[in-house]
């Protein structure tokens, strides 16, 4: 599901569904309530603000990198090191508007990874983002030589895997409640199609 209306996707988005459920959400109508986004076909957790105060506070928390977002992903190959950090500024590919790439003039981006499980010629990695650039994990992992499995833009599709797109799942969110200041943590297990893909990649 596309997160919000944009070129080529005016309806059937998450924001359309949110506005059908809650008529008034803060912020610009096309991105009503959104604190952050997920790439199309990336599953998992999002936080949505229901008031102007919440949107403002959570937006500042996102800018200040105090909202912790962790992802799970299935990638091609096995990294040489079980954990590490990938850094590289990300900007739009001048030859293809659907793609992003590491560029000297790109916006700074930092992705931390840790190997969760070694599979047969593939791996499951955990990712923690310091920044939230468009396609960040996908661009960084492709440049690292380990593209996300089934990524239609930065890798290649595996005909054995039924996922609609990349094998990437936003599984954990941690942040401080904008009003009570209580620490909050949420987890969502990967969907069945992701788990089935993982079984296939175990060989």
The length of the chain, given as a count of residues = 203
For residue 13, the tally of other CB atoms under 10 A from its CB is 18
Catalytic residue among 39, 52, 93, 151: 39
168, 149 Cβ separation under 8 angstroms:
no
**Degrees, nearest 5: CA angle 84-202-121:** 55
DSSP letter (8 states) at residue 29:
G
Q: What is the DSSP string of 163-182?
A: -SS--EEEEEEEEE-TTT--
Residues 135 and 155: their CA atoms lie apart, in Å, by 13
Region of 172 please: left (phi>0), alpha (psi -120 to 50) or beta. beta
Helical (H) or strand (E) element with 201: helix 192-201
Would you state the structure tokens that stand for residue 37, as one six-digit string?
Answer: 């986004």
CA gyration radius, the chain: 17
Q: Is 105 in the active site? A: no
Give the catalytic positions in this structure.
Answer: 39
């Amino acid at each position: 599901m596309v997160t919000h209306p944009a070129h080529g996707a005016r309806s059937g988005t998450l924001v359309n569904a949110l506005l059908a459920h809650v008529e008034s959400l803060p912020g610009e109508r096309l991105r009503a309530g959104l604190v952050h986004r997920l790439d199309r076909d990336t599953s998992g957790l999002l936080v949505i603000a229901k008031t102007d105060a919440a949107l403002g506070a959570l937006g500042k928390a996102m800018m200040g990198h105090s909202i912790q977002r962790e992802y799970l992903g299935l990638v091609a190959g096995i990294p040489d090191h079980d954990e590490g950090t990938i850094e590289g500024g990300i900007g739009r590919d001048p030859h293809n508007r659907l793609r992003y790439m590491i560029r000297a003039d790109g916006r700074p981006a930092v992705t931390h990874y840790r190997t969760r499980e070694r599979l047969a010629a593939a791996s499951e990695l955990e990712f923690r983002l310091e920044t939230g650039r468009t396609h960040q994990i996908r661009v960084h992992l492709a440049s690292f030589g380990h593209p996300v499995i089934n990524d239609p833009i930065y890798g290649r599709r595996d005909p054995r895997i039924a996922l609609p797109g990349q094998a990437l799942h936003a599984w954990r969110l941690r942040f401080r409640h904008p009003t009570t200041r209580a620490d909050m943590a949420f987890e969502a297990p990967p969907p069945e199609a992701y788990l089935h893909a993982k079984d296939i990649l175990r060989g």
